[in-house]
Amino acid sequence: MWSAGLGLFEGLAIENGRVISTGSQALKLKGEVIDLNGGFLMPGFIDGHAHPIFAGREARGPRVNNLQSVAEIKSEVARYAKENPNESWIIGGAYEAAIISGGDFDAHWLDEVVSDRPVVLHAVDHHTIWVNSKALEIAGINSNSKDPDGGTIARRADGSPKGTLREPIAFDLILKHAPADNVESDLRAIKYACDELVSAGVTTATECWVEPPMAEAYIAAAKSGTLTIEMHLAFLVTPQNWQEQVAYIQEMRAEISKLPKPNRLKANTIKFLTDGALSSGTAAILDPYLDNPNSTGLLIWDDENLLAALSAYDLLKFQVHVHAIGDGAIKQSLNIIEAMTKTNPSWDRRPVIVHAQLIEPTDLSRFKQLDVIANFQPLWTYLDPMNKELIEPRIGSERNNRQYQLRTLLDLETKISFGSDWPVTSHKPLDAIFIPVLRKVPESKSQPWNVNEAITLEESLTAYTANAAYQLFSESEIGKLESGMRANFVILNKSPFESNEVKIKSVWIDGLEIKVN
Ligand SMILES: [Zn+2]
């Protein structure tokens, strides 16, 4: 139980990178003593769902995060274009789509600042891109282009493409023409991401969308020492490629398992994307969208193919990590996991459904019944602009307010773990841990959002430490500070149980203090 760390630690003794003793016993041992001076010691945060390389790739382009108007975004893109005249494509993110009602951004707005080179900006939901006319032209997207299967192209009234595209299959129409990411550029992204994560107190994380050459870049990072935190990879497979990917993924897993000790890299998980996002009207829901009564969103996999894919990887002892947001996608995922467990031999498989935003009431108890871990993004559990401006108009207030039933799931004894989904939202756990407790941003004056679903701070911290360690099959090594565990911990300036204005003072991995900025 990590609650030994509720500021109640009298002492913690470490030796050779491991905890050897806790409590008053630890104080009796000989050795160098560090006084916390009122600081709060707790296990290092474990991010159970993140995209560090995407964050690193995005950080290279224009910095449009948190900008609150189209004019500000345009001037940042203009600045970047001017300072980087040799960059053939300008790619960046992530812009706040909720600043425009409906979220359809126009290519012409970007054309006013860059028209000679393609520009592609990712929206914060990472299910949407906004591009300029040059990018549409290079991809050959015009009034005659049809929406790809599983994606959409927003249109103007005359049918011409507006400049906003949704879902990866649609982005691909454009991004396949851009220079490919390579091991070298991804190594820089990994270095950036590790520095950012450590500074935030994250000592173990996940890379939940691995496609070539990302695993190769991680192997290079592990060998060169660039990988400073433990990283668990989840390979993305699609309805089209899951069969041909089996050999490659197994090869990568084997190569990673052979890396010299201590090996910070693990690769035992497969990521499945079963729907899109509510904010873009692409999450698969059981009842139609209010703004588009002909649509129940996008169900990316058909049942038969999803069952075949899950079963095949499960037989190879890969954990499944399923993105499901709408109640339709969550029901499908639970059904398929149930069907798979009935036919495949039983083992400690720990399936994960990530996001789990809108759950049909009769499905709530199935998480525990099927031993499915629900991985939530704590920073999303308040009425933020996305929920208010983009989601509520599409699904109505009843369904909108029913999102993120953390209390109900915990009361049903569901295992809940946390992840940031960085760069979709902040990777900093201290920005997030109070939100599911208060169901609002601590300093804001707004009303809590469906306060019946609030959880305790201890539950919130446990989801970001011990339960995330369980999700990663690492509960005997990390996530708690007990004798024998790795000495991965953070020291906060004060107890989060006394104040929500806490800061990271220092971060320790395997008993060594890591310099943070
Ligand atoms: Zn994600």
Domain of residue 79, CATH code: 3.10.310.70
Query: Residues with Cβ < 8 Å from 493, sequence gap 6 or more?
Result: 38, 39, 40, 502, 503, 504, 505
All residues at 6 or more sequence positions from 504 whose CB lies less than 8 Å from its CB, including other chains: 199, 200, 201, 430, 490, 491, 492, 493, 516
78 and 162 housed in the same domain: yes
CA of 183 to the centre of ligand 1 (A): 21
Whole-number Å distance, alpha carbon 399 to ligand 1 midpoint, is 22
Assigned domain for 25 exists: yes
Q: How far is the CA of 279 from the centre of ligand 1 (A)?
A: 14
Chain segment 195-204, per-residue pLDDT in tens = 999 999 999 9
155 in a structural domain: yes
Q: Taking the alpha carbons of 56, 57, 59, 63 in that order, is the dihedral positive or negative? A: negative
Task: Tell how far the Cα of 466 is from the centroid of ligand 1, in angstroms.
Answer: 20
Tens digits of residue pLDDT in 205-230: 999 999 989 999 999 999 999 999 99
Looking at the domain assignment, is residue 157 inside a domain? yes
Query: 273 C-alpha vs ligand 1 centroid, how far in Å?
Result: 9
Note whether residue 408 is domain-resident. Answer: no
Question: Can you tell me the mean pLDDT for 33-57?
Answer: 91
Q: How confident is the model at residue 3 (pLDDT cuts 50, 70, 90)?
A: very low
Say how many Å lie between the CA of residue 146 and the centre of ligand 1.
Answer: 27
Residue 147, amino acid: D
Contact 266, 472 (CB under 8 A): yes
Mean pLDDT of 75-90: 95
Give residue-wise pLDDT tens across range 133-172.
Answer: 999 999 999 999 999 988 899 999 999 999 999 988 899 9
Average pLDDT for residues 49-58, to the nearest whole number? 95
- Between the CA of 336 and the centroid of ligand 1 the distance, in Å, is 20
CA of 184 to the centre of ligand 1 (A): 23
Question: Which amino acid, 399?
Answer: R
- What predicted TM-score, i.e. pTM, was given to this entire model? 0.90
- Domain boundary at 175, 194, 216, which? 175
Q: Is residue 347 part of a domain?
A: no
Mean pLDDT of the chain: 93
The pLDDT assigned to 171 comes to 92
pLDDT at residue 168 in the model:
86
Please tell me the predicted confidence (pLDDT) of residue 180: 87
Q: Give residues with Cβ within 8 angstroms of 129, minimum separation 6.
A: 120, 121, 122, 123, 164, 165, 170, 171, 174
Does the residue 495 lie in any domain?
Answer: yes
Which CATH number do you get for residue 502?
A: 2.30.40.10
CA 49 to ligand 1 centroid distance, Å = 6
Q: 117 alpha carbon to ligand 1 midpoint, in Å? A: 29
pLDDT of residue 22: 84
- Are 14 and 84 members of one domain? no
d(CA 31, ligand 1 centre) in Å: 43
Residues of the chain above pLDDT 70, percent: 98
How high is the pLDDT of residue 8? 54
Residue 347: pLDDT over 90: yes
pLDDT tens per residue, range 279-295: 989 999 999 999 999 99
Nearest C-alpha neighbor of 207 from the set 422, 471, 478, 430? 422
Residue 101: which pLDDT band, with cuts at 50, 70 and 90? confident
pLDDT band at 31, cuts 50/70/90?
A: confident
Proportion of the chain above pLDDT 90, given as a percent? 83
Please tell me the distance between residue 299's alpha carbon and the centre of ligand 1 in angstroms.
Answer: 17
Are 79 and 165 part of one and the same domain?
yes
Answer yes or no: do 32 and 103 share one domain: no
Give the model's confidence band at 9: pLDDT under 50 very low, under 70 low, under 90 confident, else very high: low
Distance (angstroms) between ligand 1 centre and the Cα of 50 equals: 6
Q: What is the pLDDT of residue 2?
A: 37
105 Cβ contact list (under 8 Å, min separation 6): 70, 95, 97, 130, 162, 163, 164
What pLDDT score does 7 carry?
A: 45
In this prediction, residue 5 carries a pLDDT of 42
Q: Which residues pair with 491 in a beta bridge?
A: 41, 506
CA 323 to ligand 1 center in whole angstroms: 7
Q: Are residues 103 and 163 in the same domain?
A: yes
- Ligand 1 centroid to Cα of residue 467, in Å, is 18
CA of 446 to the centre of ligand 1 (A): 27
Separation of CA 51 and ligand 1 centre (Å): 7
The total number of structural domains in the chain stands at 2
Side-chain half-sphere exposure of 337, counting CA atoms within 13 A? 28
* Ligand 1 center to 7 CA (angstroms): 32
Q: Tell me the CA–centroid distance for residue 417 and ligand 1, in Å.
A: 14
Does residue 207 sit within a domain?
A: no
pLDDT grade for 1, boundaries at 50, 70 and 90: very low
Ligand 1 geometric centre to CA of 511 (Å): 30
Residues 146 and 87 in one domain: yes
Which of the listed residues 157, 175, 193 is the one where a domain comes to its end? 175
What's the 421 CA to ligand 1 centre distance in angstroms?
A: 5
Q: Same structural domain for residues 91 and 151?
A: yes
**Where does a domain end: 106, 141, 175?**
175
Domain range spanning residue 138? 65-175
Q: What pLDDT, on a 0 to 100 scale, did the predictor assign at position 517?
A: 58
List, for residues 174-195, the tens digit of each pLDDT value.
999 999 889 999 999 999 999 9
Look at residue 431 and tell me if it is in a domain: no
Distance 101 CA to ligand 1 centre (A): 24
8 Å CB contact between 367 and 412: yes
Task: Compute the distance from residue 17 Cα to the ligand 1 centre, in Å.
Answer: 31
